[in-house]
Amino acid sequence: MSDKKEIIRLAAIETFANKGFYFSTTDLIAEKAGVAVGTIYNYFKNKQDILEYICQVEFEKRKAFFDELQKQDLDPVEKIRKIIQKHFDEVRENPLLVKIILRERQNTDSYSTKNSGLKIIITEVLKEGMEEEKLREANPSILATIIFGAIEAVMGEYLESYEENNPKPEIFDEALMNIIKLLEKGVIIS
């Protein structure tokens, strides 16, 4: 049962990325998934529900990764590095997700709730680091917003290169290195 839901999710990612949310229909998604349109409605109310599910799945992947990180004895900047690396690895593996995340966020409340979940995770790590006096005092939410904004900007730059048929996946490694350097120089207590 969940296999069909996953097939529909993957077909919707491709359809939304190529056609855009507005021009995508459940008929197109069903055709791409190789299922009847009625099958889609066994799992989702409408295409909006599918888009929100896509965001939910992506957030849950990152949350599960974060939960595993919390079991490890890592300093806060190393946790953030691993979180960002995981996120970049996910979008590098599936550039179509970048299109959806950046272009369709205005079409779903889930984007702000689920995708900013990455920001919430980073905020939590920053708070912990400040409470443990490993990081300088700052507003963790604002600092996480800055980091999240940098992540989105890098994704946008990657998407542009991908759409020009000149993908530059190395941008993720460079961005990660620079974000971590900023954190190390700016927030770590020496």
Rounded to a whole number of angstroms, the distance between the first and last alpha carbons of the chain is: 53
Architecture of 1-44 per CATH? Orthogonal Bundle (1.10)
Q: Where do the structural domains in the chain lie, given as residue ranges?
A: 1-44, 51-186
Which residues, in sequence order, are bridge partners of residue 188? 135
Helices (H), the chain: 2-19, 26-33, 37-43, 47-70, 76-93, 95-103, 109-110, 117-131, 140-163, 170-186
Rounded (5°) CA angle 65-175-121:
30
Sign of CA dihedral 124, 130, 135, 139: positive
Gap between the Cα atoms of 141 and 126, Å rounded: 8
Architecture of 51-186 per CATH? Orthogonal Bundle (1.10)
Q: Give residues with Cβ within 8 angstroms of 122, minimum separation 6.
A: 80, 83, 144, 147, 148
Gap between the Cα atoms of 58 and 56, Å rounded: 5
Instruction: Give pLDDT, residue 113.
Output: 44
Long-range contacts of the stretch 143-147 (C-beta < 8 A, 24+): 143/187, 144/119, 144/120, 145/119, 147/80, 147/84, 147/119, 147/122, 147/179, 147/183
Rounded to the nearest 10 degrees, the angle between the axes of helix 140-163 and helix 170-186 is 160
Question: Are 158 and 67 within 8 A, CB to CB?
Answer: no
Q: What string of pLDDT tens digits covers the 190 residues of the chain? A: 479 999 999 999 999 999 999 999 999 999 999 999 999 999 999 999 999 999 889 888 889 999 999 999 999 999 999 999 999 998 888 888 888 878 766 555 544 444 467 889 999 999 999 999 999 999 999 999 999 999 999 998 988 888 888 888 899 999 999 999 999 998 887 7
